[in-house]
Homo-oligomer: A and B are copies of this chain.
Amino acid sequence: MHAQPTTFSAESYFATQPPPPTLQDDVDKVRLFVEKHAREGRSVVLVTSGGTTVPLELNVVRFLDNFSAGTRGATSAEYFLKAGYAVIFMHRQFSLQPFSRHYSHSTNPFLDFLDIDPPENVAVPPRISVTPNKRTDLLQVLTAYKKVHELGALHSLTFVTINDYLWLLRAVSQEMAVLKRKAMFYLAAAVSDFFLPQQKMSEHKIQSGKGNLSIEMDQVPKILKPLVDEWTPGGYIISFKLETDQNLLLPKARQALERYGHQVVIGNDLHRRKFEVVFVSKTRATDASGTAESFAEDWLRIDLHNNAPAGFAEKEIEEDIIAELVKRHSHWIENSV
């Protein structure tokens, strides 16, 4: 697998890597969703969530993955819905989703809170109902869930590989271009920086017993640049920067803003991301000597003082992140003229 590395631009990527087979079908559904909410005057946010995979074989047995349960994305989608946004939730298959995220099969399995009620008569199956001490919490989640579905305010679509993700992101953002400044992009997915071009993949499972494994990967093209410049002009775009070395957080966030020219980078440290993030953006100050650009860094922190089950009594930092973004996005829409 020691082939010559190739440098891919977004253009050469899409010219050489095959689209996922369900792309057209996914795009058709997104178009209908966008049209409906454009008609009804709602802002639409694309939330990307979860990690992308890099398959090592065409018949996939092994793949490289990026650590992400999808908590940030699923939680944020819920708060965007609460704030009145229509949400396109583009997530890694089987990662956490809004609403059901409160009932992980591992930590809060729903089978544990169902009671079998004695049957009213032998001809019908017994009723199954939610055990009393779980009702209050579930009622909140279920009511919000049903309301969102009645409104048709949530549209989900899934990706697995980095290739699925890149093709979908381009197509969905192009569909959202009609929304102009009412489109928001909240790119919380953990996207691989590296990939293995189709042309270099081995067809079958790489055999062990023949020594050690050696993998060479190419760099994923930087697609924020065409997203900002070409695919969806006017959209309000937020990207994320996750680091494990605190010292890299601000320099990397500033570098991304410089390079891609979008609106906000939310920086977070792997171990502090549940209670601390930083919003990095550009500000422009005008005085007699002209206009000077600089970076604004706004830290957002919450107290994690209690241990209530996730999503209920405990405060979630996404509540404050989304409140701040909704404010900034409204300002962005108002200033469009």
Contacts and interface: CB of A to CB of B under 8 A. Distances in A.
A61 B244 contact: yes
Given A125-B136, A214-B216, A106 B97 contact: yes
A311 interface: no
A95 to B, nearest CB: 9
B208 A194 contact: yes
Interface string A194-217: 100000000111001101111111
A122 interface: no
Nearest to A137: B125
B57 A244 contact: yes
B125 A61 contact: no
Contact of A194 (B57, B213, B218): B213
Nearest to A126: B139
A116 B190 CA distance: 36
B270 A59 contact: yes
Given A67-B60, A116-B143, A94 B111 contact: no
Contacts of A109: 97, 100
Interface string A90-133: 00011001011001111001110010100000000111111000
B93 A100 contact: no
B116 A125 contact: no
Nearest to A160: B67
Contacts of A174: none
A126 B298 CA distance: 43
A186 B216 CA distance: 35
A111 B142 contact: yes
A152 interface: no
Given A99-B111, A114-B130, 17 more contacts: A62-B66, A63-B64, A64-B64, A65-B65, A97-B105, A97-B109, A100-B109, A103-B111, A125-B136, A128-B135, A129-B130, A203-B244, A205-B242, A205-B245, A212-B216, A214-B215, A215-B215
Interface of A: 5, 53, 57, 59-67, 69, 93-94, 97, 99-100, 103-106, 109-111, 114, 116, 125-130, 135-136, 138-139, 141-143, 145-146, 158, 190, 192-194, 203-205, 208-209, 211-220, 242-245, 270-271
